[in-house]
Amino acid sequence: MENNRRNFLKSGALMGTSLLASAAFGSVPAIAAVSQGRALPPADMKRRVLGSGSNRIEVSALGLGCMGMSYHRSYIPERKYMMALLRKAVDMGINFFDTAEAYGPFLNEELVGEALRPVRKDIILCTKFGFNIANGKLVGTNSKPSHIREVVEQSLKRLKTDYIDLLYQHRVDPAVPMEVVAGTVKDLIKEGKVKHFGLSEANAASIRKAHAIQPVTALQSEFSLMTRQPQQGVIPVCEELGIGFVPYSPLSRGFLSGYINERTKYNPDNDNRPTLPRYQPDAIRANWIMIETLADFGNQRGLTAAQVALAWLLAQKPWIVPIPGTTKPAHLQENLWSADYTFTGNELAELTATLSKITVTGERYTGVQAQQTNK
Ligand SMILES: NC(=O)c1ccc[n+]([C@@H]2O[C@H](COP(=O)([O-])OP(=O)(O)OC[C@H]3O[C@@H](n4cnc5c(N)ncnc54)[C@H](OP(=O)(O)O)[C@@H]3O)[C@@H](O)[C@H]2O)c1
């Protein structure tokens, strides 16, 4: 599989002067002027491959998680700025965009669809099904075939496209056998509405069942220096089966940047962090040693804590593609530059050993949300 994956790898050189020139947000042109229906030539961004054989997709080394532009990250910036940011990301070499009907709900798909419509053919557009949504709230899982089909039709409309490049099941539905879910997506692939299949927070057994029916291109699960469980369970299975891995919340919802702290105030109406144990002031204080460790390492090398955290993820496997979310061009640029850092073997081993001694305080999810993971 490694060979298979490496064949495609363009030896992405460091991001060049064209990227540097386009980095400052001040120079972001208005959407209409970015390009007349076509993406500008992409900057020299490193590429990676997710999945194998005919189920593989080639994507930028980091994708863009779009959720926070509309959902769960407190403030929602003005739409025109997020449209500009999405198009700027394309110009910076990102071709891998992550959304879901659940984000907003619906609003994020609408935003992403509208912003990326002029460059649709140049990007890999990913969305997800798998929840019942009522009165703007997620109310349980639903992966019944008829529901999957309904959601796909609606997502296609909101995304303003006639195909979804990578369709994930957002959470495993215990009421619907995985074989049935995979069979439904397989049919959607035959019909041309979907190109590739993904899972999110599925455990090894579910991945194997799904993959036997319709090969899985990528597993998207939480993975960061704060949440390393996938290393024990699903990453080895992905390696064995030739499935790519997409870490979501790779900065642990902002914590690993050092940008949020125990005094951070969230908008409880649009942020899940106040409900999660890891973002409570005591946990933030207890876990701050993680930020100090990343900052110490980064300060010697001209890197920020966020960049070290992302570079560490990228260094784990060549088929790992994190999707940090941001609403800020400066953070987008900062995050992309993490792909330019290459650890020496010793550096990586020493940093990992130091970080592994830290016991993380606070669970990542509780209650129903916890029950819906690792299924
Ligand atoms: N499959 C799933 O169940 C699932 C669950 C959650 C998320 N996701 C996907 O994963 C994506 C990312 O996850 P996430 O938003 O939860 O977490 P994340 O990417 O770990 O963190 C995002 C947060 O970090 C901040 N940030 C980003 N870069 C930064 C930088 N360089 N310096 C300082 N702060 C920075 C962002 O704020 P600013 O806007 O201020 O930069 C935002 O609040 C989502 O957009 C979504 O597509 C999937």
pLDDT tens, residue by residue, 216-227 = 999 999 999 999
* 148: nearest Cα among 194, 110, 210, 215: 194
Q: Report yes or no on 229 lying in a domain.
A: yes
Q: Average pLDDT for residues 189-213, to the nearest whole number?
A: 98
Decide if 90 contacts 42 (C-beta within 8 A). yes
pLDDT tens, residue by residue, 125-180 = 999 999 999 999 999 999 999 999 999 999 999 999 999 999 999 999 999 999 99
Residue 318, φ and ψ in degrees, nearest 5: -75, -5
- pLDDT at 35 (0 to 100): 38
How far, in Å, CA of 323 to CA of 246, rounded?
7
Q: Report yes or no on 12 lying in a domain.
A: no
Crossing angle, helix 145-159 and helix 178-190, to 10 degrees? 40
Q: Average pLDDT for residues 335-363, to the nearest whole number?
A: 97
Question: For residue 241, what is the enclosing H or E element?
Answer: helix 234-241
Q: Report yes or no on 17 lying in a domain.
A: no
Asked if 75 is an active-site residue, the reply is no
Domain count, the chain: 1
The active-site residue, picked from 71, 81, 103, 259, is 103
How far, in Å, CA of 226 to CA of 203, rounded?
19
- pLDDT at 43 (0 to 100): 57
Atom of ligand 1 nearest to the CA of 306: 31
Q: Report yes or no on 21 lying in a domain.
A: no
Query: What string of DSSP letters covers 162-176?
Result: S-EEEEEESS--TTS
Q: Report yes or no on 18 lying in a domain.
A: no
Q: Report yes or no on 20 lying in a domain.
A: no
Q: Average pLDDT for residues 10-33, to the nearest whole number?
A: 32
How far, in Å, CA of 335 to CA of 350, rounded?
22
Parallel, antiparallel, or unpaired for β 131-134 and 137-141? antiparallel
Q: Report yes or no on 19 lying in a domain.
A: no
Give the residue, by CA position, lying nearest to ligand 1 atom 25.
254
- pLDDT at 16 (0 to 100): 34
Give the residue, by CA position, lying nearest to ligand 1 atom 5.
248
CATH number of 106's domain: 3.20.20.100
Decide if 282 contacts 308 (C-beta within 8 A). no
The whole-model pTM stands at 0.90
Q: Report yes or no on 16 lying in a domain.
A: no
pLDDT tens, residue by residue, 59-103 = 999 999 999 999 999 999 999 999 999 999 999 999 999 999 999
What distance in angstroms lies between residue 251's CA and the mean position of ligand 1's atoms? 6
Atom of ligand 1 nearest to the CA of 99: 47
Decide if 143 contacts 129 (C-beta within 8 A). yes
Domain containing residue 318: 2-6+28-371
60-69, 281-290, 313-322, 361-370: least confidently modelled range: 361-370
Q: Measured on CA atoms in the order 98, 103, 106, 108, is the torsion positive or negative? A: negative
